[in-house]
Amino acid sequence: MLSRPGGRWLRPLSVLPLGARDPPLVRASAGGVQRSAPPVWAAAASVSAVPGSWYEALAASAPVQGTEQVLLGVHSATGLPWWACIALTTAALRGAVTLPLAAYQHYILAKVENLQPEIKSIARHLNQEVAVRANQLRWSKRVARLTYLKNMRRLVSELYVRDNCHPFKATVLVWIQFPMWIFMSVALRNFSTGATHSEAGFSVQEQLAADGILWFPDLTALDSTWILPISVGIINLLIVEIFALQKIGMSRFQTYVTYFVRAVSLLMIPVAATVPSSIVLYWLCSSLLGLSQNLLLRSPRFRRLCRIPLTKSDSDTPYKDLLAAFYTKFISRK
């Protein structure tokens, strides 16, 4: 029986031989404009969205229709042009939904990080006890390894339950943010293809065609300058690099994931060049706010405001450290 150093363990460890029954585990998202002809992408989209297709079902689903009503409500209540309504709605959703969830994600991850010394201590003592039992009972290496893993999973799960910080809770942001991104994109596509009409009887497509700004006055057309698509790719790459710079000694899996997300960020550029400017504008606003959100969550003052626990990796000068790391990696590298 493994003793608890200093009484810090949850309960004495009982090593279970292979085949023994495991103890139950606690298992811890306005005006009309004449259109000469529909754009090429609209014709292609109409061909792909055949009756009964999965995309048609998604475009007519309740979440997408609800998103359309939110956008129409913001446009009706504020009287702003559509480009401003898209930006305002994106900012509101980011501030009211994703920012609190992102702060909660950092809260969970900070508690998990603070558990690592205790987990390493348990792993060391458990490994010693399994080695003793394996020698006494003449277990094979496979039996000893499986016994160690089963007990380690149980003990770590008990720690997560004790501190209410199961890592799966940190994924809530993804399960909420990604569907919201899909629903907004599809709703804006419905607007741009003329599939939705406003309450006043005017075609939202015609309103979008006259409510652009700067070099994209027509929000239903493609951005022929590629400024919006390239901006989306650059901002997403910045988000990825900020994440990579704050991670020291990434595992092989984390490295592969980082490279994959970089590739997706670059792939978003040609994809964004084939969809209406209204959708790309939303993507750009969402990415800019996501970048700002990531920087905000590095602020010690904001983290204290959100009651995110202090960790060993926290810095009093996060922005200075980020600039120094960026300079070392991309500028001063020989």
Say yes or no to pLDDT of 46 above 50.
no
Say yes or no to pLDDT of 44 above 60.
no
CA distance 311 to 301: 14
Residue 110 confidence (pLDDT): 92
Give 157-187 pLDDT, tens digit per residue: 999 999 999 989 988 998 999 999 999 999 9
At 332, list the tokens: 């001063």
Which of 14-18, 227-231, 251-255 holds the top average pLDDT? 227-231
Give 61-111 pLDDT, tens digit per residue: 889 989 998 998 898 899 899 999 999 999 999 999 999 999 999 999 999
Q: Write down how long the chain is.
A: 334
* Share of residues in the chain with pLDDT > 70 (%): 80
The two counts, helices (H) then strands (E), for the chain are 13, 0
Residue 302 binned pLDDT confidence (cut-offs 50, 70, 90): very high
Residue 290 confidence (pLDDT): 92
Q: What is the mean pLDDT of residues 311-317?
A: 84
Chain mean position to CA 151: 32
0.85 surpassed by pTM: no
Say yes or no to pLDDT of 140 above 60.
yes
Residue 284 confidence (pLDDT): 95
CA distance 93 to 70: 11
Indicate the range of 71-80, 193-202, 216-225 predicted with least confidence.
Answer: 193-202
Angle between helices 172-192 and 62-78 (to 10 degrees): 70
